[in-house]
C-alpha cells in the first residue's frame, strides 16, 4: 500500500480522534484501531478480522465503522464513545493465541481509550485470549465473566424497535397476523424469528447458507423459505427485516418492496445516501439500523459495570430501544426529515450536550 493512498483515505472528511497501526511480523498481526470519539466515554467497538484487499480498504472500513459506533452508543444512552479495530488477513490462516495476545498488548497500550469486542471473524474465546494481555476487553465467554453471544440482545432490541414501528404505523404493537420477511437467519436473524413467531406473526425467510436454513426449518417448521433476497423482497410483506450484510436497501429493493416497515439487524443497510428519502417517498417507515441493532452493544457494555455482567440489567436497558425508536419517529415527523436523519440528530445532540459536561472541572 502506498502511504499516500492511506493518508488520502484518512483525510477524506473524517473527524476521528486517533488512528493507530499495529504490526507484529512474527505472529502476522497487522491491525488498525480507530477511535472516532471519546466525547461520552471510552470508545467501544468490535475487532473485525478480514482479508482486506488493501490496507487502504481496511483503513476506510475501520474509519466508517468506528464513526458508526459513536452514533450507536450515543443513541443507546451509553457513556461510551465510538471505536473499532480491524485485523488485516485471513482469519482461517492467521488465527492463533499468540496473534490475539500480541493484539491485546497493543490495545492495552492505549490505556483504556479503546475497549474491544467481537465482530466479523472474531469470537468470544478470542476475546478471552486478548484479555490475558489486556484489561480493556468485552464480549468474553460467560465462563470468563463475559456477556457471551451478543446476538441474543441484538435480536431482542430489533424486536423492540419493530414493535415501536408497528405502533407508529398501525397504532398497535401487535404483530399477530402480520407477515415479516427476514433476510439472513444467522445468529441474530434466527433469534428474531423466534420472537416474531411467539407474537403470532407469519415469517418468510431466506439465506444463502443451507445450514442456516436447515436449522430454522428444524426449529420452526411454520416458517416459509424462499430462494433469494430478491424473491423475498417481491413477496407481499408487512415488514422487511434485513439481517444479513450491509447495503441491503438498494434503489431496486425500495422500488420492489410492498412492506410498510423496514426494521432489521444488519449494519449500514442504506446502499447509498438518499435511499432514506426514497423509502419515505414510497411510504415505507425505516427504523434506522444503528438505533434498533444496539442491543448487542448494550449487552457487552454491561460487562464494564463494576459489579460484573448482569443479563437482566442489560435486557432491561435493551428494552429501552422501543422508546428510543419511537422518539426517532416522532422527531422525524415533527421536523419533516427521514428517520435516519432524525436518529443522527438525536445522537449528535447527546454527544454535544452530554459530552461538553467534561469541560466542567472536577477535583
Ligand atoms: N451479532 C450481533 O450482535 C450484531 C450486532 C449489531 C449488528 N449486527 C449485524 O447484523 C447482521 C447479522 O449479524 P449476525 O451476527 O447474525 O451474522 P451471521 O453471520 O451469524 O448471520 C448472517 C446470515 O446472513 C446470511 N447471508 C449472507 N449473505 C446473504 C444474502 N445475500 N442473502 C441472504 N442471506 C445472506 C448468512 O449465510 C448468515 O446466515 C450483520 O450485518 C451484523 O453486522 C450483528
Same domain, residue pair 89 and 180: no
pLDDT at 204 over 50: yes
CATH number where 342 lies:
3.40.50.720
Question: Residues lining ligand 1, judged by CB closer than 6 Å?
Answer: 150-151, 154, 183-189, 206-209, 212, 229, 243-246, 265-267, 293, 296
Residue 264 placed within a domain:
yes
103 is in which domain, residue-wise?
3-70+80-144
CATH number where 94 lies:
3.40.50.10860
State the distance from the centre of ligand 1 to the C-alpha of 190, rounded, in angstroms. 10
Q: Which residue has the cell 423482497?
A: 233
The last residue of a domain, from among 95, 123, 144: 144
pLDDT at 299 over 50: yes
| Count of the separate structural domains present in the chain | 2
Residue 27 placed within a domain:
yes
Element (H, E) at 204: strand 202-206
Q: Once rounded to an integer, what is the mean pLDDT over residues 220-227?
A: 97
Measured over the CA atoms of residue 272, residue 274, residue 279 and residue 282, the dihedral's sign is negative
Angstrom distance (rounded) from CA 76 to CA 293? 10
Would you state the pLDDT for residue 11?
A: 64
State the distance from the centre of ligand 1 to the C-alpha of 305, rounded, in angstroms. 28
Angstrom distance (rounded) from CA 360 to CA 85? 31
* pLDDT, averaged across the chain: 95
Of residues 22 and 149, which shows the higher confidence score? 22
Q: Once rounded to an integer, what is the mean pLDDT over residues 265-291?
A: 97
Would you state the pLDDT for residue 348?
A: 97
* Grid cell locating 123: 469470537
Give, in order, the Cα–Cα distances in Å from 283 to each of 185, 249, 253, 261, 338: 26, 15, 14, 9, 11
Same domain, residue pair 156 and 138: no
Q: Count, in order, helices (H) and strands (E) of the chain.
A: 16, 12
Same domain, residue pair 54 and 22: yes
Would you state the pLDDT for residue 13?
A: 67
Among protein residues, the one whose CA lies closest to atom 3 of ligand 1: 151
DSSP 66-84: HHHHHHHHHHTT-S-EEEE
The total of other beta-carbon atoms located within 10 Å of residue 12's CB is 9
Give residue 283's pLDDT band: very low, low, confident or very high (50, 70, 90).
very high
pLDDT at 314 over 80: yes
Would you state the pLDDT for residue 14?
A: 76
State the distance from the centre of ligand 1 to the C-alpha of 353, rounded, in angstroms. 34
Same domain, residue pair 26 and 125: yes
pLDDT digits (tens, 9 = 90+) for 117-127: 999 899 999 99
The last residue of a domain, from among 144, 159, 176: 144
pLDDT at 322 over 90: yes
pLDDT at 3 over 90: no
Of residues 358 and 278, which shows the higher confidence score? 278
pLDDT at 229 over 50: yes
pLDDT digits (tens, 9 = 90+) for 73-88: 999 999 999 999 999 9
Would you state the pLDDT for residue 1?
A: 42
pLDDT at 236 over 60: yes
Q: Which of 109-113, 143-147, 293-297 has the lowest mean pLDDT?
A: 143-147
Give residue 149's pLDDT band: very low, low, confident or very high (50, 70, 90).
confident
Q: Is 84 a catalytic site residue?
A: yes
Q: Which of 186, 195, 219 to mutate to test the pocket of ligand 1 (most atoms within 8 A of CB)?
A: 186
pLDDT digits (tens, 9 = 90+) for 238-255: 999 999 988 999 999 999
Among protein residues, the one whose CA lies closest to atom 38 of ligand 1: 186
Angstrom distance (rounded) from CA 224 to CA 216? 10
Q: Considering the chain, what percentage of its residues have pLDDT values greater than 70?
A: 96
The last residue of a domain, from among 144, 167, 199: 144
Give residue 4's pLDDT band: very low, low, confident or very high (50, 70, 90).
low
Whole-structure pTM value = 0.94
Amino acid at each position: 500500500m502506498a502511504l499516500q493512498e492511506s493518508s488520502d483515505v484518512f483525510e477524506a472528511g473524517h473527524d476521528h480522534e486517533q488512528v493507530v497501526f499495529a504490526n507484529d511480523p512474527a505472529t502476522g498481526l497487522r491491525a488498525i484501531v480507530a477511535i472516532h470519539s471519546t466525547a461520552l466515554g471510552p470508545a467501544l467497538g468490535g475487532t473485525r478480522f478480514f482479508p482486506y484487499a488493501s490496507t487502504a480498504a481496511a483503513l476506510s472500513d475501520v474509519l466508517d465503522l468506528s464513526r458508526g459506533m459513536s452514533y450507536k452508543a450515543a443513541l443507546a444512552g451509553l457513556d461510551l464513545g465510538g471505536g473499532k479495530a480491524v485485523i488485516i488477513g485471513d482469519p482461517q490462516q492467521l488465527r492463533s493465541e499468540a496473534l490475539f495476545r500480541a493484539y491485546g498488548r497493543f490495545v492495552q497500550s492505549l490505556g483504556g481509550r479503546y475497549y474491544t469486542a467481537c465482530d466479523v471473524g472474531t469470537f468470544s474465546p478470542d476475546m478471552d485470549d486478548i484479555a490475558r494481555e489486556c484489561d480493556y476487553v468485552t464480549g468474553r465467554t460467560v465462563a470468563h465473566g463475559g456477556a457471551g453471544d451478543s446476538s441474543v440482545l441484538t435480536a431482542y432490541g430489533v424486536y423492540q424497535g419493530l414493535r415501536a414501528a408497528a405502533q407508529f404505523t398501525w397504532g398497535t404493537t401487535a404483530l399477530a397476523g402480520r407477515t415479516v420477511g427476514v433476510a439472513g437467519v444467522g445468529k441474530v436473524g434466527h433469534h428474531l424469528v423466534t420472537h416474531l413467531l411467539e407474537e403470532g406473526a407469519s415469517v418468510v425467510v431466506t439465506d444463502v447458507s443451507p445450514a442456516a436454513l436447515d436449522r430454522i426449518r428444524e426449529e420452526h417448521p411454520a416458517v416459509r423459505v424462499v430462494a433469494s433476497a430478491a424473491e423475498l423482497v417481491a413477496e407481499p410483506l408487512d415488514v422487511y427485516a434485513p439481517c444479513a450484510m450491509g447495503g441491503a436497501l438498494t434503489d431496486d429493493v425500495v422500488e420492489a418492496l410492498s412492506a410498510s416497515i423496514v426494521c432489521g439487524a444488519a449494519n449500514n443497510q442504506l446502499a447509498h445516501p438518499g435511499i432514506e428519502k426514497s423509502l419515505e417517498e414510497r411510504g415505507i417507515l425505516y427504523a434506522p439500523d444503528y438505533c434498533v441493532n444496539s442491543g448487542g452493544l448494550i449487552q457487552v457494555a454491561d460487562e464494564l459495570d463494576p459489579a460484573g455482567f448482569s443479563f437482566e440489567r442489560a435486557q432491561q436497558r435493551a428494552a429501552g430501544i422501543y422508546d428510543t425508536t419511537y422518539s426517532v419517529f416522532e422527531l422525524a415527523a415533527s421536523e419533516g426529515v427521514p428517520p435516519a436523519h432524525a436518529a443522527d440528530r438525536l445522537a449528535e445532540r447527546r454527544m454535544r450536550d452530554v459530552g461538553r459536561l467534561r469541560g466542567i472541572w472536577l477535583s
